[in-house]
A and B are shown apart, each in its own frame.
Chain A
């Protein structure tokens, strides 16, 4: 599936190269094309070699194939590489390799096989220059069969960090709300679409999940006896506790990077306003006090400011406010309906949803309000609820482009989109884990 967009991307590259010598023409090239070409040139070409199987028979061969497959996908999904592997070889001469991954797999010893229990495989992975074969990084792992994907994810993150200085996202997960009518449950899925797991089964609506900074808890909005409350689910045990359940809305939680408080919208005093509450549900500070709707708070990564939605002027617009409630300023002036802001973990962008003539689209804007850029296309129908990956490069969002709302991942730098979840049931309000 990813081969076609990549092929298109290459074609665009070649086109750009072809027309670049003509300044007059180059000026007419739309921004999108420029975005694509810029990053395509910056990508690192890497070869994922076939891993050597030293022993272990068929099981080890399968393990090696699984490792290669996952590594290849992780490097592609990072958006930072052009990858060629045994499974998806790049056309001859298209890539200028700088690096390669090679390694070996040793199957379980005979003794372990005879006991009938799962035995660890020995995996050795190298990052080397290519051509040349100079060793840059070596990692040894002893994974059980169900830890092969995690092993590949871990090594992919090491490679990304080594070559770009940025943390990888290969071990991140996405929590979201799945279902319709009376029931929507929280589900979690690995960032690559694998290991789908249901987290709640309480026969009611569970919405707007938010990861705690260390990933140990997920705050979410649910209902008890028809009334809304904010709850927290321990990811290790599935145990659910109530954070706060004031009269009215208890909605749209976002954790502070310290994990010591959450921004949330409560309508306890009539209209919804932004509050800061502790994870135990004590109200620490009322950030806004307006006779209008104030919802959907999102912290800036430094934890000083909050972006949120307010309809104080008659239409929902984005505002930025100091977390003490000082100095609110309006961020959006285009569009009559802007909501669902999410501040990028790198601090330099805010993504939000805007509605034009019944279709909701995603927009990227600088925290200063400059460089507003539409990310999606009306032909994709509605695109809603964006949430950032920790790399500040990818977002996950819900779109009904194929009928039911499903989740999609977009690389906001080069525009690549892949579908993350499948099936007929609507998936909404995704949240990307912070690590």
Chain B
């Protein structure tokens, strides 16, 4: 049942489908409460079959090595970062969507422990930004717990404004730097 053993390309396709499936579930699943978490298994099965065909010729026939997800950066298996508004740590609709998808991937890899890093843009003071970054990381952690990820798989840290993803003193760079980033601990 695990995705272990597929090559990265297959994994990507699979993830695409998971996302697709997720959004379908979301579209149809209004009104039901905890249902979406158990449904994907049913939906994924046939679609994977269909898509795998064009990929097959490039896949070597020999048995593939097991992929150790605990050694990979989360972005390599489809975990996406979450972005925040200026001086805010609440999750907008886009962030909620990302976290829903992330939670599904994390459930498929129960062996993985994730470090959630809070980041801020350069404006403001070093210490308050470290505290704000922690609030962002904790907002993300708390939502993942609500989505069913066990607390002990989620660690939280804050780098404040100290490890920017984009360099520059403009809104484009700032927006890139206000995020919760998922890392291998």
Within 8 A of A (CB), among B7-42: none
Whether A207 contacts B128 in the complex (CB less than 8 A), given A184-B162, A225-B185, A226-B155, comes out as no
Instruction: Decide: A182 and B163 in contact? CB cutoff 8 A.
Output: yes
Q: Does any Cβ of B come within 8 Å of A97's Cβ?
A: no
Cα-based distance from A205 to B162 in the complex (angstroms) = 8
Within 8 A of A (CB), among B105-148: 115, 117, 123-128, 130-132, 134-135, 138
Q: Does any Cβ of A come within 8 Å of B102's Cβ?
A: no
Q: Does any Cβ of A come within 8 Å of B159's Cβ?
A: yes
Instruction: Decide: A205 and B124 in contact? CB cutoff 8 A.
Output: no
Cα-based distance from A270 to B159 in the complex (angstroms) = 17
A207 contacts across to B, CB distance below 8 A: 126, 162
Instruction: Decide: B131 and A353 in contact? CB cutoff 8 A.
Output: no
Q: Which residues of A contact B (CB under 8 A)?
A: 181-182, 184, 205, 207-208, 223, 225-228, 247-249, 251-252, 265, 267, 270, 272, 293, 295-296, 309, 311, 316, 337, 339-340, 353, 355, 358, 360, 384-385, 428-429
Range of interface residues on B (Cβ < 8 Å): 20 to 34
The residue that B125 contacts in the complex, of A225, A228, A360, with Cβ under 8 A, is A360
Instruction: Decide: A205 and B126 in contact? CB cutoff 8 A.
Output: no
A382 CB to nearest chain B CB (Å):
8
Closest chain A residue to B115, Cβ basis: A226
B115 CB to nearest chain A CB (Å):
5
Instruction: Decide: A226 and B127 in contact? CB cutoff 8 A.
Output: no
B132 contacts across to A, CB distance below 8 A: 293
Instruction: Decide: A309 and B157 in contact? CB cutoff 8 A.
Output: no
Q: Does any Cβ of A come within 8 Å of B78's Cβ?
A: no
Instruction: Decide: B163 and A205 in contact? CB cutoff 8 A.
Output: yes
Whether A337 contacts B134 in the complex (CB less than 8 A), given A182-B163, A226-B157, comes out as no
A329 CB to nearest chain B CB (Å):
20
Cα-based distance from A316 to B127 in the complex (angstroms) = 11
Cα-based distance from A296 to B126 in the complex (angstroms) = 10
Cα-based distance from A384 to B185 in the complex (angstroms) = 31
Cα-based distance from A252 to B126 in the complex (angstroms) = 10
Instruction: Decide: A385 and B128 in contact? CB cutoff 8 A.
Output: no
B125 contacts across to A, CB distance below 8 A: 296, 339-340, 353, 355, 360, 384-385
B168 CB to nearest chain A CB (Å):
12
Whether A340 contacts B127 in the complex (CB less than 8 A), given A226-B115, A226-B185, A248-B134, comes out as yes
Residue among B128, B135, B138 having the largest count of chain A Cβ atoms under 10 Å: B128
The residue that B128 contacts in the complex, of A225, A270, A316, A358, with Cβ under 8 A, is A316
The residue that B127 contacts in the complex, of A205, A248, A295, with Cβ under 8 A, is A295
A225 contacts across to B, CB distance below 8 A: 185
The residue that B123 contacts in the complex, of A270, A293, A355, with Cβ under 8 A, is A355
B156 CB to nearest chain A CB (Å):
7
Whether A251 contacts B127 in the complex (CB less than 8 A), given A226-B117, A226-B183, comes out as yes
A223 contacts across to B, CB distance below 8 A: 157
Instruction: Decide: B134 and A384 in contact? CB cutoff 8 A.
Output: no
Instruction: Decide: B157 and A337 in contact? CB cutoff 8 A.
Output: no
A192 CB to nearest chain B CB (Å):
25
Within 8 A of A (CB), among B38-77: none
The residue that B124 contacts in the complex, of A208, A247, A337, with Cβ under 8 A, is A337
B183 contacts across to A, CB distance below 8 A: 226
A296 contacts across to B, CB distance below 8 A: 125, 127-128
The residue that B157 contacts in the complex, of A227, A252, A265, A385, with Cβ under 8 A, is A227
Closest chain B residue to A355, Cβ basis: B124
Q: Does any Cβ of A come within 8 Å of B97's Cβ?
A: no
Instruction: Decide: A295 and B157 in contact? CB cutoff 8 A.
Output: no
Q: List, sorted by A's number, 19 A–B pairs whose CB atoms are closer than 8 Å.
A: A181-B163, A205-B162, A205-B163, A207-B162, A228-B158, A251-B127, A251-B130, A265-B131, A309-B127, A316-B128, A337-B124, A339-B124, A339-B125, A340-B126, A355-B124, A355-B125, A360-B123, A360-B125, A385-B126
Instruction: Decide: A295 and B155 in contact? CB cutoff 8 A.
Output: no
Cα-based distance from A336 to B124 in the complex (angstroms) = 11
Cα-based distance from A223 to B133 in the complex (angstroms) = 15
Instruction: Decide: B135 and A293 in contact? CB cutoff 8 A.
Output: yes
B134 contacts across to A, CB distance below 8 A: 248-249, 267, 272
Cα-based distance from A226 to B158 in the complex (angstroms) = 9
Closest chain B residue to A309, Cβ basis: B128
Closest chain B residue to A293, Cβ basis: B131
The residue that A227 contacts in the complex, of B124, B130, B131, B155, with Cβ under 8 A, is B155
B162 CB to nearest chain A CB (Å):
5
